Structure 1
Amino acid sequence: MNHNKQVEKASLMRNKPYLYLISSQVVSSLGDWLDMLAIMALVALKWEASPIAMAGVGLCLLGPMAVVSPVAGILADKYDRKKLMILSDVIRCLVVIGFVFSTALWQIYTLLIIKSIFAALFIPAKNGKLKEIVPESQMQSAMAISGVVDNGSKIVGPLISGLLVSLVGIQWSFYLDAASFVLSAILLFGVPKTINETFVNDSGIPKEKETMISQLKDGLTVLRQIPFLSAGLMVFSVALLVIQIADTQLMVLLRQIDGDPTEIVGYGIAANGIGMLIMSIILSKKKIQSTAIYIGLGSAVVGLCFAGMVLLVPLSIVMTTILTPLLFFIAGLAAAAIIIPFQITAQKGTPVQYTGRVFGTISSVTTLASLIGMVSGGVIAEIFGVNMAFVLSGGLLVIVGIVVLIKRSKLESRVNLAESDRGLQGKASG
């Protein structure tokens, strides 16, 4: 068994298109975290934005994805995914440069909306391309490595960004982020283009002649045919909704401490990335027997960490600097336990020709949940205070986790994953 896993991993590492794709993800993910902390520092600290205004940042970043993601998924199934990813990188590079010259909140909002639209285009195209170039037998390893990349960037990105913001100013984080998108686009030239082939649906209608509405229905239909994925998406979305009640208010919460919270947030996000990285590595070597257990325990632990953040505010700056990364580290372990198993379930259960549509639908549903959480968090923090937002978010996450664990047997009795088709995008499934 161990020998087979080593051979499988070695084979994956010899897959040149995959290596180009994952390398592009490395630099792009790193760049995203470089500008995220800079935006938080600019809006929350330099411009002293209110909780509602901070929620607006999150809304502009994720809101368009709820609307655009299903359409982006269709485009990712219909057109060359490689070209779509390169276009997305180029546009986002220009947008990030625009942050440097922004002087008002509405300008930041506008640029974030544009960036969100093209990020929504990139995600299903990347997931579809991954399905094209990686065999089913190596998919779990590929997804785990992808998780390691995403979470590893959270370690390096915030540390570099925090250092740059403190030493040379906010704009350098934006310049580095723009450069990362350029490098990502260059690396994508090493990925083969998508081979489009006409295939038919169950009624014998060529897919290329189907309407956009019918293609959107395809994504929902596939999700309904995978019972546990449908249930998992519902639970996953609820967890994201509750997490976002507090997540966008972090800088507002730490604004109460003595001193500049920018570095503390940077250390915290880096520690969170370390925790997620460690859990991603663990899950890459371990067969996941129960997705529900991971999601339930992960939700409860993240909730306890959120509620615990409120206790750090009255402490000295030294204690806050030490304990904040510790809580973020534990939360990172738990968050990865929620995200990675669900992603693996989705990738394994989705036929290749529907990957773009299914992931576009998943992205739309989870983004909508996040948006509701952001709005709720801003309103709660504005009316009852930011401390209450964290306590409420933490308590609700604990409840979600407990309910999932109690209902685990019922959830897992619905496991009936459809066998994933193999081959390139557009191939008929036999």
Structure 2
Amino acid sequence: MNAGIFKPLKFRSFRSLFGAQIFSDLGNWLDLITLQVIVAYHWGLDEMAIAAVIIALGLPWVIIGPFASVFVDRLPKKQMMVICLFLRILFVGGLFFAPNLYVLLIFVFLKGTVAGIYDPARQSMIRFTIPDDHLPEAVTLSQLSSNTMKIMGPALGGGIIALFGAKSPFLFEAVGFFIAILLLLTLPNMDEQETNAKNKSKNKNRDNGHFWKELLDGIKHISYTPLLKSSVILSSVAFFIIFLYDGLFVFIAQNLGFTEGNFGLLISALGLGSVSGSLLMGNWTHWKRKPLHLMSSAFLFSGSLIITIGLGSIGIVNLPQFGWVIGAFFLGFMSSGESAPYGFVLQSETPKHMMGRVSAVATSLQTFSMLIAPAAGSLLAKWIGVSIVLIGAGGATCLLGTIVLIFIARNDVQEKHFQA
């Protein structure tokens, strides 16, 4: 990663927006481990309960995100973001005091809904805080925060649980959202009058058909751009495989001998590996010429690690806990070889004016895969056991990587694209 990516931070408005994003992104993921620990360890519930939590987390991003990405440009974004953060603090309080799974699921869904509205507003707000010639760096930096917090949030949550107790991450999360509000309040009042005037003039001729046309434009762009379409499909399938066993990982950890106290160590190793991989991807950029090659190769390596962990959970492979922590580190490391190329393709293959819609549609497709996978994983776990599900997921990951490598070798998709 070169220093150019940090150039947008010299603009005060963008610094405020980016700082708020860091705390917001962290809040999206900080309580992921907390929810699983409460459900599995404290309430003693089974795989179906974990699956229900994950579905409640992701459903708003599917049903809210794509539609919000069209409407958000017609609303005052700074005020909308502040209101969303206040609501998220309230909903985190609801999670803290939730007495049972049903109340917990309601607040999980509400929190996800507000996050699904906040994120498109943040994406759109970038254009009001940065000159156009710095926009590519700003968007890349923004995406780096989002991807990094997906890694660091659960890891940090596991560490906080080990130090302060199962529900303590909710308190840290609420404080983080409050800091994000303070940062957003330092944003100057953006001069959106000209933009709003243009929108109003367009709105006179705007009807429901126009709304659907804007939404469909984002879908069509993905469909008509081969490299982008391949990356979105590949990442969506990968997300399905990952979340097939993700909700079961806490039970795998139990089989490997990890307790409530050191479960966070395993998750922290995953996070540390992912951050290390992201730093490598940022400094070694030759993969940008062949991003799909790197994604599929990473699938092969990570799939092999997943199979090994699955074999360990049924006693075929025996390692000390430190060995499994090292394995989790490399599993996280390989995940960067999957996410970084996808982020690069999404940015480089999408026009700036369509970034919100295209990213929202892509996220919706990925999240839909993530939603149906936990239910399938929990049903399979009841039928054949969590260890066999993990082994099968690892095998599917290896197969996916092999198929893609064969496909791109035969069709030479990326070389033709970058030579054009």
Provide TM-score, normalisation by structure 1. 0.85
| Secondary structure in 2 matching 1:48 | coil
**Which residue number in structure 1 is paired with residue 96 of structure 2?**
100
Which amino acid is 2:414 matched to?
A: E
Give ranges in structure 2 of 5+ residues lacking alignment.
none
Deviations 1:104-162 (A, max 9, x none): 11111111111111121122223333455456765665455445545654676556533
Greater Cα shift, 187-196 or 19-28: 187-196
**Which residue number in structure 2 is paired with residue 244 of structure 1?**
243
The 8 Å contact of residues 299 and 397 in structure 2, kept in 1 or not, is answered as yes
Residues 215, 143 of structure 1: alpha-carbon distance in 2 compared, 3 angstrom cutoff: closer
User: What CA distance in whole angstroms lies between the structure 1 residues aligned with 2:225 and 2:270?
Assistant: 32
User: What CA distance in whole angstroms lies between the structure 2 residues aligned with 1:128 and 1:20?
Assistant: 15
Q: 1:178-257 counterparts in 2 under 5 A?
A: 178-191=174-187, 193=190, 195=192, 196=195, 209-211=206-208, 212-257=211-256
The 8 Å contact of residues 70 and 364 in structure 1, kept in 2 or not, is answered as yes
**Which residue number in structure 1 is paired with residue 282 of structure 2?**
284
User: What CA distance in whole angstroms lies between the structure 1 residues aligned with 2:376 and 2:416?
Assistant: 32
The 8 Å contact of residues 7 and 137 in structure 2, kept in 1 or not, is answered as no
The 8 Å contact of residues 302 and 335 in structure 2, kept in 1 or not, is answered as yes
User: What CA distance in whole angstroms lies between the structure 2 residues aligned with 1:143 and 1:40?
Assistant: 32
Provide TM-score, normalisation by structure 2. 0.87
User: What CA distance in whole angstroms lies between the structure 1 residues aligned with 2:226 and 2:148?
Assistant: 32
Residues 130, 275 of structure 1: alpha-carbon distance in 2 compared, 3 angstrom cutoff: farther
**Which residue number in structure 2 is paired with residue 388 of structure 1?**
388
| Secondary structure in 2 matching 1:407 | helix
Deviations 1:68-109 (A, max 9, x none): 111121123332333333222221111111111111111111
| Secondary structure in 2 matching 1:187 | helix
User: What CA distance in whole angstroms lies between the structure 2 residues aligned with 1:151 and 1:198?
Assistant: 35
**Which residue number in structure 2 is paired with residue 274 of structure 1?**
272
Greater Cα shift, 52-61 or 181-190: 181-190
**Which residue number in structure 1 is paired with residue 55 of structure 2?**
59
The 8 Å contact of residues 52 and 382 in structure 1, kept in 2 or not, is answered as no
Number of paired residues?
409
User: What CA distance in whole angstroms lies between the structure 1 residues aligned with 2:140 and 2:229?
Assistant: 21
Instruction: Choose between structure 1 and 2: higher helix proportion.
Output: 2
Which amino acid is 1:274 matched to?
A: L
Please report the RMSD computed on the Cα atoms of aligned residues, expressed in angstroms.
3.1
Residues 381, 340 of structure 1: alpha-carbon distance in 2 compared, 3 angstrom cutoff: same
Which amino acid is 1:243 matched to?
A: I
Residues 258, 327 of structure 1: alpha-carbon distance in 2 compared, 3 angstrom cutoff: closer
User: What CA distance in whole angstroms lies between the structure 1 residues aligned with 2:300 and 2:139?
Assistant: 24
| Secondary structure in 1 matching 2:31 | helix
Report deviation, 1:302: 2.1
The 8 Å contact of residues 220 and 361 in structure 1, kept in 2 or not, is answered as yes
The 8 Å contact of residues 143 and 344 in structure 1, kept in 2 or not, is answered as no
Report deviation, 1:57: 1.0
**Which residue number in structure 1 is paired with residue 157 of structure 2?**
161
**Which residue number in structure 1 is paired with residue 19 of structure 2?**
23
Q: 2:414 aligns with which of 399, 404, 412?
A: 412
Report deviation, 1:349: 2.8
Which amino acid is 1:97 matched to?
A: G
Report deviation, 1:339: 1.3
The 8 Å contact of residues 26 and 153 in structure 1, kept in 2 or not, is answered as yes
User: What CA distance in whole angstroms lies between the structure 1 residues aligned with 2:419 and 2:79?
Assistant: 31
The 8 Å contact of residues 160 and 169 in structure 2, kept in 1 or not, is answered as yes
Q: 2:371 aligned with 1:376, yes or no?
A: no
| Secondary structure in 2 matching 1:302 | helix
| Secondary structure in 1 matching 2:21 | helix
The 8 Å contact of residues 306 and 390 in structure 1, kept in 2 or not, is answered as yes
**Which residue number in structure 1 is paired with residue 346 of structure 2?**
346
